[in-house]
């Protein structure tokens, strides 16, 4: 699987070249170059503040980089007109971290929204498509509920259903398993793999959850302090000797903060012993 | 930074702020026709009607009650002075002129800015925090047309209506006072009101209410859009929205009244 997708490296769904960005003097993205190949699941790993959210915003055309280019479907979205970005976005489905569902609309209406607004489909057709998408994510029974009535896992599923509404070639998931319990998170991983198998979509997942990353990924990329420090198949990635990757994979705290925490705890315990 | 640099920097920041305000306003104005019933999109109009209920209809009881009370207070205060000159019937003129020119629009604007400026900035702020705005943009929908424009239209339509109703409430409170104190009949009261009311004052009232509506909705939306970070930022933005819109409404009231006075449009007779 990994080898076959490596063989056709030529056709990238997303091609990021030398993207740099800084906010008020701080470098958030530093010369990031990354290809997402057609039909693969690429997991972008990174701790908090590593720049993965910023990179995502750039890929979606919500922010413009200082340098570099991002090409999706042959269009450089960092340099093209707003109307062209809109055309490109028709082929991208995005599920945001908190779902970003519209609370005033029911789940069905949320999924129907892009169809109603951007296509000229008849109402009956829209209803059918919405039903199919909800079935694909396992939410057939929850269509009439409103987002606040959903559990965390259902909300993410609903967000995925809405992202799938326009049959995108490219699906982008921001932290799909963050804040979910292990069982629901595993179900979501299954869903992601199912989507790849049955619809053949290219999927870019941004996350910091290692377990789910290794379950779903074809390839894994890792951002650290705005730099891309590794892009590899997951087997090779797990053998990578880069100290930061080892630290991330072995769940080690930063050396200094570890010592500081220990000191804090001992002084705290000593202090509380004096009190009692 | 030297002192001069600081002053210059502050000036640039404020000019930029004002520029952003104007740009945002222009962006919404350009999208406003899309919300209108026949020429625009039916779905936007429907969402505008929803907003009208949220901004207008639900504000009606409170605004009406405030106007009734204020009208009655005004009549009481006026009567205690006018009675000394045996000119109690001038209470009608006092209430009518005060409400059409000043209190009707002002009370309505203050109650709507308290209720809706905060609600709108909270709603928009939350949708920024939960990435709903980004989601709209990524779906290829324009947040200005989808979220902001219906709210602007709703405010611009409902505030003048509310103002008229609140003025009627205030004047009715004047009648209530006179009916209770000197048994004035409704017929005589209506005659006196018809004499005291001027078309020019009513026009003045409507102009004011449109200006206030613009301020309230614009400040509410902008404070919401400015939210960055987490949910606690939403709290700050709602406070800022109420404080700023209330202050700006009073300021605009002073401005418009001064203009009308200087142009000589406000003198009776």
Range of the domain at B201: 3-262
* CA distance linking residue B45 with residue A84, whole number of Å: 28
Whole-prediction pTM: 0.80
Kindly state whether residue A261 falls inside one of the protein's structural domains: yes
Percent of chain A with pLDDT over 90: 2
pLDDT of A257 reads 63
Q: What is the rounded (10 degree) CA torsion for B147, B30, B44, A119?
A: -100
Q: What is the pLDDT of residue A6?
A: 42
For A14-33, what is the mean pLDDT? Answer: 85
Question: How large is the angle between the packed helices B3-31 and B149-182, nearest 10 degrees?
Answer: 90
Token duo for residue B65:
């009650």
Q: Is residue B8 part of a domain?
A: yes
In the three-class reduction of DSSP (H, G, I as helix; E, B as strand; rest coil), residue A32 is classed as: strand
Residue by residue, DSSP assigns A72-93 as ETTEETTTS-HHHHHHHHTTEE
Assess A102–B contact: CB distance below 8 Å, yes or no: yes
Q: Above 50 in pLDDT, residue A64?
A: yes
**What is the rounded distance in angstroms from the CA atom of residue B250 to the CA atom of residue B257?**
10
Residues of B in CB contact (< 8 Å) with A are 43, 130-132, 134-135, 137-141
From the list A90, A94, A118, the residue facing B135 with the nearest CB is A94
Number of domains in chain A: 1
Which positions ≥6 away from A258 have C-beta within 8 Å?
A: A252
Q: How far apart are CA A77 and CA A64, in angstroms?
A: 9
Whether A206 contacts A240, CB under 8 Å: no
Distance CA B189, CA B71 (A): 15
Domain count, chain B: 1
pLDDT computed for residue B268 by the predictor: 55
d(CA B51, CA A256): 54
By C-alpha distance, which of B133, B135, B160, B128 is closest to B144? B133
- Residue A162 forms part of a structural domain: no
* A247 within domain boundaries: yes
Contacts B137 to A, Cβ<8 Å:
62
Answer yes or no: is pLDDT of A271 > 80. no
User: HSE on the CB side for A171, CA within 13 Å?
Assistant: 28
Which burial class, exposed, middle or buried, applies to B4 when counting CB atoms under 10 A from its CB (0-12, 13-18, 19+)?
exposed
Give me the pLDDT at residue A9, please.
43
Q: How far is CA B198 from CA B46, B176, B203, in A?
A: 36, 22, 9
pLDDT of A113: 87
Q: Which two tokens stand for residue B87?
A: 């000119």
Q: Is B243 left (phi over 0), alpha (psi -120 to 50) or beta?
A: alpha
Classify residue B267: in a domain, yes or no.
no
What are phi and psi for residue A69, nearest 5 degrees? -140, 155
Q: Is A39 within the bounds of a domain?
A: no
For residue A251, being part of any structural domain is answered with: yes
Q: Please tell me the distance from the alpha carbon of residue A232 to that of residue A219, in angstroms, as a whole number.
A: 5
A61: left (phi over 0), alpha (psi -120 to 50) or beta: left
Chain A nearest CA to B136, separation (Å) = 9
**Quick check: B140 and A92 CB within 8 A?**
no
Higher pLDDT, A267 or B179: B179
CB contact under 8 A, A102 and B132: yes
Contact flag A89-B135 (C-beta cutoff 8 Å): no
Closest CA to B79 of B202, B165, B180: B180
CB A213 within 8 A of CB A45: yes
- pLDDT tens digit at each of 269 positions of chain B: 678 888 888 888 878 777 877 888 888 888 888 888 777 787 888 888 888 888 888 889 999 999 999 999 999 999 888 888 878 878 888 999 999 989 999 999 999 999 889 999 999 998 888 888 888 888 888 888 888 889 999 999 999 999 999 999 999 998 998 888 888 888 888 888 888 888 888 988 999 999 999 999 999 998 888 888 778 888 888 998 999 999 999 999 999 999 988 887 766 54
Give which of A196, A191, A165, A166 is closest to A177, Cα–Cα: A191
- Residue A7, in any domain of the structure: no
Residue B255 confidence (pLDDT): 93
pLDDT of residue A67: 86
Give me the mean pLDDT over the A55-65 stretch. 86
The C-alpha atoms of residue A227 and residue A20 are separated, in whole angstroms, by 9
Picking from B138, B139, B191, B196, the residue whose alpha carbon sits closest to that of residue B167 is: B196
Domain that holds residue A270: 241-276
Does any domain span residue B269? no
Q: Is residue B25 part of a domain?
A: yes
Q: Determine the Cα–Cα distance for residues B175 and B92; give it in Å rounded to an integer.
A: 7
Name the nearest CA neighbour of A171 among A101, A85, A98, A72. A72
User: What is the nearest CA distance from A252 to chain B, expressed in angstroms?
Assistant: 28
Distance from CA of B109 to the nearest CA of A (A): 26
Question: A89 and chain B: CB distance < 8 Å anywhere?
Answer: yes
Residue predicted with more confidence, A9 or A272 = A272
């Amino acid at each position: 699987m990994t080898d076959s997708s490596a063989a056709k490296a030529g056709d990238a769904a997303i091609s990021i070249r030398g993207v740099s960005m800084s906010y008020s003097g701080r470098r958030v993205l530093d010369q990031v170059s990354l290809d997402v190949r057609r039909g693969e699941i690429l997991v972008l790993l990174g701790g908090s503040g590593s720049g993965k959210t910023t990179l995502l915003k750039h890929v979606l055309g919500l922010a413009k980089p200082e340098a570099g280019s991002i090409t999706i479907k042959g269009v450089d979205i960092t340099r093209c007109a707003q109307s062209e970005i809109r055309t490109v976005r028709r082929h991208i489905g995005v599920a945001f971290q908190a779902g970003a569902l519209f609370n005033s609309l029911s789940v069905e209406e949320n999924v129907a929204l892009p169809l109603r607004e951007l296509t000229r489909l008849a109402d009956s057709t829209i209803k059918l498509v919405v039903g199919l998408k909800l079935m694909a994510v396992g939410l057939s029974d929850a269509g009439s509920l409103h987002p606040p009535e959903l559990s965390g896992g259902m909300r993410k599923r609903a967000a995925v259903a809405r992202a799938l509404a326009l049959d995108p070639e490219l699906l982008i998931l921001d932290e799909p398993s963050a804040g979910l319990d292990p069982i629901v998170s595993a179900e979501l991983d299954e869903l992601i793999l199912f989507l790849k198998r049955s619809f053949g979509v290219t999927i870019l997942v941004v996350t910091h959850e290692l377990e789910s990353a290794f379950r779903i990924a074809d390839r894994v990329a890792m951002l650290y302090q705005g730099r891309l420090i590794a892009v590899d198949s997951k087997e090779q990635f797990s053998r990578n000797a880069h100290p930061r990757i080892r630290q991330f994979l072995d769940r080690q705290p930063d050396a200094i903060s570890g010592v500081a925490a220990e000191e804090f705890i001992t002084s705290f315990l000593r202090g509380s012993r004096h009190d009692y | 930074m030297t002192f001069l640099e600081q002053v210059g920097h502050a000036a640039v920041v404020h000019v930029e702020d004002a520029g952003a305000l104007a740009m945002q306003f222009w962006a919404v104005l350009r999208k406003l026709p899309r919300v209108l019933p026949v020429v625009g999109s039916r779905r936007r109009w429907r969402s505008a009607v929803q907003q009208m209920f949220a901004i207008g209809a639900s504000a009606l009881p409170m605004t009406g009650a405030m106007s009734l009370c204020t009208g009655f207070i005004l009549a009481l205060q006026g009567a205690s002075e006018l009675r000394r000159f045996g000119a109690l019937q001038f209470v009608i003129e006092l209430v009518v002129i005060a409400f059409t020119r000043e209190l009707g629009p002002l009370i309505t604007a203050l109650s709507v800015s308290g209720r809706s400026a905060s609600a709108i900035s909270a709603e928009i702020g939350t949708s920024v925090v939960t990435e709903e705005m980004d989601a709209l943009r990524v779906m290829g929908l324009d947040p200005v047309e989808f979220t902001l424009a219906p709210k602007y239209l709703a405010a611009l339509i409902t505030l003048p209506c509310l103002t008229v109703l609140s003025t009627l409430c205030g004047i009715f409170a004047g009648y209530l006072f006179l009916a209770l104190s000197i048994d004035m009949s409704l017929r005589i009261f209506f005659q006196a009101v018809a004499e005291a009311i001027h078309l020019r004052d009513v026009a003045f009232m409507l102009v004011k209410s449109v200006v206030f509506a613009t301020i309230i909705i614009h400040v509410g939306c902008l404070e919401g859009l400015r939210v960055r970070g987490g949910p606690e930022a939403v709290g700050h933005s709602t406070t800022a929205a109420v404080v700023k819109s209330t202050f700006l409404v009073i300021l605009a009231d002073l401005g418009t009244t001064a203009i009308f006075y200087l142009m000589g449009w406000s003198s009776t007779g």
